[in-house]
Amino acid sequence: MDHMTREQRHRCMSHIRSKNTSPEWRVRKTVFAMGFRYRLHDKRLPGKPDLVFPRLKKVIFIHGCFWHRHSCQANRPLPETNRAFWEEKFRRNQERDRQVLADLWKAGWQTQVIWECETRDSALLQQKLSDFLSGSLPSAVNYDLIEQHALYSLVAEPED
C-alpha cells in the first residue's frame, strides 16, 4: 500500500535523487558495498571526518573541489568581485585542511582525502578506497602533506 500523494512521492524521489548523486553518498555506497562499516561525521575527531573506521584507525574526508581548492580547479578563475576575500577564504580552508590532517596523523589516524571529481569514476573510486582501507600502508594519503610523510618515516615499522 502506498499512502503518498503524487506530490509527496515526487518530492521524496527528488530528495533521494540528489542524495544519491552527492560525492559523499557515492563514497559511502562504495565503501558499504565493499563490506566496511563506518561512523559518520565523528565530532570527537579533528575536522569531524566524513567517514570514520574506528578499528582500522582510518578516516576519509570527501572534499568539494571548489571549496578545498583541488588542483583540478587551477584553471578556473576566482570570482571577480571581492577577490581578496575569496583568496583569503581559500587560503584558510587549505590551511585548516592541512592542520586537521596533521592533527589526526599525530593522534595515530591514517587519513584519505577523496576529491569530488574522483567520485565520478566508480572503478577508480573503488580502487582508491580499496588501496586505502585494505592496505597496511597509508598509500593513499594526501600527497600535499609533506609533514605526514616525514612523520611516517619516523614511525614506520620494518617490513617482515
Give, as one character, the DSSP assignment of residue 45: S
Distance CA 101, CA 152 (A): 13
- Please, which of residues 59-118 interact with Zn ion by CB under 5 A? 65, 70, 72, 115, 117
How many residues interact with Zn ion (rule CB under 5 A)?
5
Residues 36 and 87: beta-carbon distance below 8 Å = no
Could you tell me the smallest distance in angstroms from the CB atom of residue 71 to Zn ion? 7
Could you tell me the smallest distance in angstroms from the CB atom of residue 118 to Zn ion? 7
Q: Is 42 left (phi over 0), alpha (psi -120 to 50) or beta?
A: beta
**Is the Cβ of residue 20 or residue 71 nearer to Zn ion in the bound state?**
71
Q: Is 69 left (phi over 0), alpha (psi -120 to 50) or beta?
A: left
Could you tell me the smallest distance in angstroms from the CB atom of residue 7 to Zn ion? 37
**Is the Cβ of residue 93 or residue 152 nearer to Zn ion in the bound state?**
93
Could you tell me the smallest distance in angstroms from the CB atom of residue 119 to Zn ion? 10
**Is the Cβ of residue 24 or residue 36 nearer to Zn ion in the bound state?**
24
Residue labelled with grid coordinates 566508480: 122
**Is the Cβ of residue 16 or residue 72 nearer to Zn ion in the bound state?**
72
Taking alpha carbons only, the member of 115, 131, 134 closest to residue 68 is 115
Applying CB under 5 A, which residues contact Zn ion?
A: 65, 70, 72, 115, 117
